[in-house]
Structure 1
Amino acid sequence: MTAPQATGREPEQATGQATSQLGWHRVLDWRPGSPWARAAIVLLLVAPIAIAGTMMWAMWDPSKYLRNIELAVVNHDAGVKKRGEYTNYGDQVVEGLLKTDYLNFAEVSEQEAADGLTRGKYMLVVTIPEVFSQQATSLTSDNPVRPEINFAANDYYGTNASFITASLVPQVQTKVENAITKKYADQILAGMGRMSDGLTAAADGAGRLDEGVAKLQEGGGRAVEGIGKLDDGATQLADGATTLAAGTSRLGGGIGELSAGAGKLRDGAHELANGTDRLAAGTGQLADGAGQINAGVAELTGKLIPLLEQAQAIAPQLAQAENTLRAAGLHAQANQVADLRAKLDPASGTNMVSQLGRLRDGTAQLHYNLSDPSAPYLSGVLALQNGAHRLAEGTDTLGAGIGRLADGATQLDAGAHKLADGAGALSRGTGQLRAGGAELAGGIGKLKEGSGELSTKLAEGANKAPHIPHPDKSAEQMAVPINFTSTNLHPVQTVVSETDPTAKQITGGVSMLAVMVFGFLLMLLVALLLPYYFGRIPPRSALSVASAWLTKTAVNAALLLALAGISAAAGWSPHKWGLVIVALLATAAAATAVYQLFHVMFGRLAGGAFALGFYALGVMVFGGVWPILAVPAFLRAFHFVHPMTYAKDAFVVATDGLAGGFGAAAFWGPVGALVAFTIIALGISVAALRVRGRAAASVQ
């Protein structure tokens, strides 16, 4: 009995297997039979490609829309007055930004910039602080400070605006840095120019000093020559006196023979005594003049030598300046600096300090010979004076024996002539000495004037030269002249590490992406998963559509509130939670109605594809992900006919607390637009279902 039972089951099993194989065969061998099915398949295949292509087109090169994007600059710079000249670097930066053709900058007040940034009028606000010029001119000060400029943005009006600012901000930074770097270069070059002028003036002063020293040397030579001639005259005078003494010795045996010339001898002797007195008096006057010269030279050298010795200390610095000028190609100025350094170099035997020392010693020696009774010259003059007076006394004594002095009188006359010649030579020598002294005084005056001018010009050159007390800090400031800071009203993410720019943290600005972008996406999924009407009755009445709409609206509102809670956990803190809830409810109602309309009009499959495309279009044109002015004009036209635009506007106004006073229209206007989208979409859905219901009834 077992076998027949088994045999009875085999046909049933075979039939089941055949039926199963036939079902899978139908699934695998299915072909779209109606045009609507084929169109739906094509739409499902083409829609993602079309959406992706449209998004790539919209984001291909947003930088070309920079001329359309409004940018603001706020200048608080108070300027600075330096070296008697007022400068405002902030004005120059603003002028440079306003003159940039491809950037649409406008200079506005701080309040206008803040309002425009909050309301999305300006994508970027550049703020120049009050102390900008003061810090910019601190390059060569004791405490150089790098000036700051702030860039402010608002991610609520374009979370992907960084793609634009990534190319915009460096251009703005370059404009600003170029303006400041040029001013830094102007300061350095102006300082070098002033230093060059100071060195040129110092070189001129050194040249005049050199001329004065040359004339001083020439006058000193003439003084020495005059002194030599004076010495020769004194020698001749001594020889004549010796000859006269010999003649007077021979007068002892011939007094009688001198009777005729006794009177002349007496007169000549007295005249000789008077002449020696005048010679001694003249020598005293000459000694006084020499003393004054010596004192003046000593005082002058006492002032000049320390000054020049101090000036010698800059010889190494002049060598460095010479090398710097030669490296810069300024060979003429370098040669002037080299000549000045040679005159100041302590190692040179012909430096001005050594020459002034020899001048001081020479004038001291001259004063010694003319004023010291123990000196050879003055002692000779005094001895001559004493001898002449003794001679006069002797001639008086010889008055009684004038006859015996007749023979000696002739010899005495010859000696007197020689003495007269020597005295004349001495007189001419002293005249030349006096003239040389005058020239010496003039040369010394020019030397003093030139040295004073040299000291003054060197001091002026040092003061005019750029003084940089902290080269390292100043070099860092020149390398990076501006410290650019950035702020964001609603940043999506912020950098949390100063050393790692890739370490970022999600912040409250993500609420725009979470609530708007992901919210509309989740509401799209809800529309695809839930039917567009509830109940068994045909969907011909408003009640069947409204019941489905209310159910999905409640689900969507819950989703949006959940996303808002997630955003709040990330740091989002709206000013008006009540208005935020109103905006989210209006958004849920409008999105549900529009997605339901696509479902009603085109069915679940094609309607879902249209809804997906409508969502992708909204992401591109609603202005929360991509700045509206940075999308192509064709897509920009859909900005005002998409519910995501008005949902974003109401959401931003509620978040920033702009709904009070004038802002009431800014909030209730978008909410009213969402209500209008809801009513229109529901009305079209109900009308379409009624038309279809009537058509179905007429067919039956």
Structure 2
Amino acid sequence: MGVTNEDPTTQTPTAEAAVAEPTGRRPWHDSRIRRALLAVVVVVPLAFAAVYMWAMWDPTETLEDMPVALVNNDIAVGSGADRLAAGDEVKQTLLDSGALKFDAVDTETAVDGLASGDYYFVVSIPTNFSATLSGLGDTTKAPALISITYNDNNTLLASSIGDSVMSAIRAEVVKGTAGSSVKTVLQGLDELSGGLKDAATGSGQLHDGTSELSAGAGELAKGLRDELVPGTAEAADGGGQLAAGAGELAAGLTELRSGTDELGAGATELADGIDSIVGGVDAKGIADQLKALKKALPNDPSIRGIVDELTGVVDGLGQLTSGSREIANQLTNPKADYRSGVEQLVAGSAELSSGANELSAGLGELHQGATDAANGAQQLADGAGQVDDGAGELHQGLSDGARQAPDLGDDVQQQSLADLLATPVDTKATNLAAAQFNGPGGAPLLLIMLTAIVPLIVFMCCRPLRASVTAARTIGIRAWLRRVAFVCGVSLAAMAACTVGVWSFLSPSPDPANLAQTLLMVAAATLMHTAVIGVMFAIGGYVVGSVTALAGIMLQMFSFGGVWMIETVPGALKWLHPLMPMTYVRDGFIASFNGSSGFWAALVIVVGITAVCTAAHLLLVRGRTPAADALPA
């Protein structure tokens, strides 16, 4: 490594020292001609390759190796012959196209893969894709969208190349969906045509039915008005008369019960009087005496007749007593046949009167209802006439529409017409961190380039500390550490200013998922490139070291995967990809900007490269006299 101010120990060897220099075989890197030849051998092919790649190389020839996540969240609609699974059709179309290396995964895997850089972008088919296509011409007002998500934090040109490729293969997607989706519309139109014809036929039948309804409603209104209403009026009058007669009957029976009560009271008094009269006579004794007298008297018919009559009178007194008591019982006892019959007649007449009144009221309501029904039937007849007129107009209109409806033919004709209709599918691109137009997605690439260019500029401003065997003096550890610390400090300070400039230049400003990791990787990458360039300067000196470092940076720009997708570059650069220090700096920035895993693994590798190159630089200059090439005037 080098510093801007020369130390006394770093002065160019004197002539005496040069004379004392050993005359043995010198190493290859101590010859200016050999170093220049090496620089030409390294730089010219790399420059030619760079020009060729920039001017002639077409990455689209190898895009089939470019990994892209394909997510199909579509839910099929319909069933049987009407089932539409447009998402599956698009998915299979993309997989069969071979335009990109599509990997069918779920949403979570796709998101994680885009964040970690495993996928360059994500193609997502939404859940309503089939539903949108099935509703074309009906509920759908916009084309079905396929979402494409980019992230320029991973690779600068992935979004622009991916957009071009997706535009090209969108025609294949449309070809795979247009037939089935637009055919749905045509089938709907065909069904509409058939429906109009059926509706026209049905409207004719409706017109016939409404005509019959209108005629029937007129007859109903006439019958209610001319027959039912007068009949219910007569029934209401008869019901009133019946109610009046039933009331009179109930009143008469009530009077009968009152008279029966009075007659029963008199009969009871009569029975009691007879009992009091007859009760004092020994009817049985008199009957026995008369029987004995009859036997004692001569057999004279006239005398015996008198005795028989007296015997009959005595027997009649007993019958008079029981008969008067029975009459009183029938007139007063509610359980007796006569009295219970009177009570039943009175109760029945009351119920008859109440029922007759209710019947009269009901017949009055019936008459009123019949009158209302007659009026309603007339209104129904008028409305039915209007419906019949409307049905006639509907039939005429549907018949005209059915004659004008298109006949789309059979399935083959519908499919042919469907293939000619407009595209029902479109794409919608989203970039999580766009790099175009000074977007924040360019931050990782700018930082990677600056961490390499800034140390190179610092070295080019200093005298190199180069390995040499032309002097016997050694450089101390402290002097070496001072020079290393100086170059590293200047590089870190300059890189800090450049980082602030990147944040100010890009709009909107970058927003990494982990700012601390991003800044840590900036510092580690700056120190790593400082160590790598220091080794080149230690071996080749100012000129060869500068050219070699610049050539190395240029080579890494094509092979580390930050500009071109590594799968699309020539095979030799693919082989160099894991050997390039920038590869691991890019991995660290992808992890810190996107919030994915892998940052610490990348940091360990960067620190390891720094340690190895620092140790190599120390071994190259340790025990050698630092000879400085003169800076250009």
The answer to whether 1:151 aligns with 2:148 is yes
> Is it true that 1:481 corresponds to 2:424 in the alignment?
yes
Q: What letter corresponds to residue 580 of structure 1 in structure 2?
A: T
Q: Which residue is equivalent to 2:129?
A: 132
Residues 622 and 642 of structure 1 are in contact (CA less than 8 Å); yes or no, is this contact kept in structure 2?
A: yes
Whether the 8 Å CA contact 2:117–2:590 is kept in 1: the answer is no
Distance 2:122 2:133 in 1: 21
Q: Is the 8 A contact 2:197 2:398 kept in 1?
A: no
The equivalences for 1:591-610 within 5 A come to 591-610=529-548
Deviation string, structure 1 residues 150-180 (Cα, Å, up to 9, x no partner): 1011212210224531432113422332233
Cα deviation for residue 313 of structure 1 reads 4.0
Deviations 1:271-310 (A, max 9, x none): xxxxxxxxxxxxxxxxxxxxxxxxxxxxxxxx99998875
Q: 1:561 to 1:101 in 2, by over 3 A?
A: same
**Does the 8 A contact of 2:441 with 2:510 survive in 1?**
yes
Segment of structure 1 superposing worse, 84-93 or 68-77: 84-93
**Could you give the per-residue CA deviations for residues 444-464 of structure 1, whole angstroms, max 9, x where no partner exists?**
xxxxxxxxxxxxxxxxxxxxx
- The match for 1:35 among 14, 29, 33 is 33
Task: Answer yes or no: is the 8 Å Cα contact 1:519–1:559 preserved in 2.
Answer: no
Residue matched to 2:553: 615
Residue 442 of structure 2 aligns to which amino acid in structure 1? V
Corresponding letter in the other structure for 2:613: A
Contact kept in structure 1, 2:42 and 2:551, CA below 8 Å: no
CA distance in 2, matches of 1:608, 1:675: 23
What amino acid maps onto 1:677 in structure 2? I
How far apart in 1 are the matches of 2:182 and 2:592?
Answer: 50
2:577 to 639, 644, 647: 639
- Measure the CA separation in 2 of the matches of 1:200 and 1:526: 87
AA of the residue aligned to 1:482: V
Residues 177, 694 of structure 1: alpha-carbon distance in 2 compared, 3 angstrom cutoff: closer
Q: Residues 7-406 of structure 1 correspond to what in structure 2 (within 5 A)?
A: 35-36=33-34, 39=37, 42=40, 46=44, 49-50=47-48, 52-53=50-51, 55-56=53-54, 60-81=57-78, 85-142=82-139, 144-191=141-188, 194=191, 311-313=395-397, 317=401, 320=404
1:526 aligns with 2:524: no
Instruction: Name whichever of 594-603 and 96-105 sits farther off.
Output: 96-105
Inter-CA distance 669–307: structure 2 relative to 1 (3 Å threshold): closer
Deviations 1:465-498 (A, max 9, x none): 9xxxxxxxxx9x96352342212232213xxxxx
Identity %: 26
1:144 partner SS: coil
**Secondary structure, in 3 states, of the residue corresponding to 2:117?**
coil
Q: CA RMSD in A?
A: 4.1
Match of 1:552 in 2: 487
Code of the aligned partner of 2:488: T
SS of the residue corresponding to residue 162 of structure 2 reads helix
Distance 1:589 1:54, change over 3 A: farther
Change in Cα spacing, 1:109 to 1:48, as seen in structure 2 (3 Å) is closer
Give the ranges of 4+ consecutive aligned residues of structure 1 lying more than 6 Å apart after TM superposition.
Answer: 195-205, 303-309
1:568 aligned residue (500, 503, 512): 503
The offset of 1:688, in angstroms, is 2.4
Alignment check: 8 A CA contact 1:75 1:90 kept: yes
Q: Distance between the aligned counterparts of 1:182 and 1:169, measured in 2?
A: 20
Q: Which amino acid aligns with 1:484?
A: T
1:607 CA displacement: 1.4
Q: Residues 34, 545 of structure 1: CA spacing in aligned structure 2 closer, same or farther, 3 A cutoff?
A: closer
Alignment partner of 1:654 is 2:586: no
Write the letter of the residue equivalent to 1:557.
L
1:315 & 1:577 partners in 2: Cα distance? Answer: 73
Alpha-carbon contact 2:39-2:547 (below 8 Å) kept: no
| Cα gap change, 1:645 to 1:204, in 2 (>3 Å) | same
Structure 2 CA distance for partners of 1:610 and 1:133, relative to 1, 3 Å: same
Q: Match for 1:556: what amino acid?
A: S
Q: CA 1:51–1:555 in 2, change beyond 3 Å: closer, same or farther?
A: farther
Deviation at 1:641, TM superposition (A): 1.4
How far apart, in 2, do the equivalents of 1:547 and 1:180 lie?
69
Change over 3 Å in CA distance of 1:90–1:48 after alignment to 2: closer
Supply the AA of the counterpart residue of 2:74: D
Counterparts of 2:564 and 2:62, CA distance in 1: 12
1:161/1:49 CA distance change after superposition, 3 Å: same
1:671 and 2:603 matched: yes
CA gap 1:140/1:490 in 2 versus in 1, 3 angstroms: same
- 1:531-555 Cα offsets, whole Å, 9 max, x none, are 3349x99664454443322222222
Distance 2:625 2:103 in 1: 59
CA contact (8 A) 1:519 1:563 kept: no
State the shift of 1:102 in Å: 3.7
Letter matched to residue 617 of structure 2: S
Q: Distance in 1 between matches of 2:473 and 2:424?
A: 75
State the SS of the aligned residue for 1:66.
helix
Structure-2 change in CA distance of 1:554 and 1:622 (3 Å): same
State the alpha-carbon separation in 1 of the partners of residues 448 and 103 from structure 2.
31
Once the 2 structures are TM-superposed, how far is the Cα of residue 559 of structure 1 from its aligned partner?
A: 2.7
Contact 1:575 1:655 in 2 (8 A): yes
Deviation of 1:683 after TM superposition, in Å, equals 2.2
The CA deviation at 1:568 is 3.2
**CA displacement 1:331-381 (0-9 Å, x = unmatched):** xx9xxxxxxxxxxxxxxxxxxxxxxxxxxxxxxxxxxxxxxxxxxxxxxxx
- Unaligned stretches of 5+ residues in structure 1: 1-32, 206-302, 334-464, 466-474, 494-503, 696-700
Tell me, what secondary structure is at the counterpart of 2:180? helix
Query: Is residue 522 of structure 2 the alignment partner of residue 584 of structure 1?
Result: yes
Report the CA distance between 1:40 and its aligned residue.
7.2
Retained in 2: the 8 A contact 1:524–1:595?
yes
User: Structure 1, residues 505-551: CA drift from partner, whole Å, max 9, x if none?
Assistant: x22212112211233222222222223349x9966445444332222
Do the aligned partners of 1:155 and 1:490 also contact (CA within 8 Å) in 2? Answer: yes
Contact 1:136 1:145 in 2 (8 A): no
User: Could you report, residue by residue, the CA deviation over 1:69-100 in whole angstroms, capped at 9, with x for unpaired residues?
Assistant: 21111222233338994423222222222222
Q: Does 1:625 align with 2:563?
A: yes
SS at match of 2:174: helix
Q: CA deviation at 1:125?
A: 0.5
1:80 match: secondary structure: coil
Q: CA deviation at 1:115?
A: 0.4
Aligned partner of 2:215 in structure 1 is none
Contact 1:594 1:678 in 2 (8 A): yes
Structure 2: stretches of 5+ with no match in the other structure: 1-30, 203-386, 628-633
| Cα deviations by residue, 1:7-65 (Å, 9 ceiling, x for unpaired) | xxxxxxxxxxxxxxxxxxxxxxxxxx9734863785698367335335438x7121222
Change (3 A) 1:142 1:125: closer
1:448 corresponding residue in structure 2: none
**C-alpha deviation, 1:199, in angstroms:** 9.3
Contact 1:75 1:129 in 2 (8 A): yes
State the AA in 1 paired with 2:173.
Answer: V
Aligned pairs, number = 402
* 3-state secondary structure, aligned to 1:149: strand
Q: Secondary structure at the match of 1:125?
A: strand
Against the structure 1 CA distance between its residues 47 and 678, is the aligned structure 2 distance closer, same or farther, given a 3 Å change threshold? same
Q: Who is 2:616 aligned against?
A: 684
Paired residue secondary structure (2:542): helix
Q: Distance in 1 between matches of 2:575 and 2:42?
A: 25
C-alpha contact 2:155 2:562 (8 A) present in aligned 1: yes
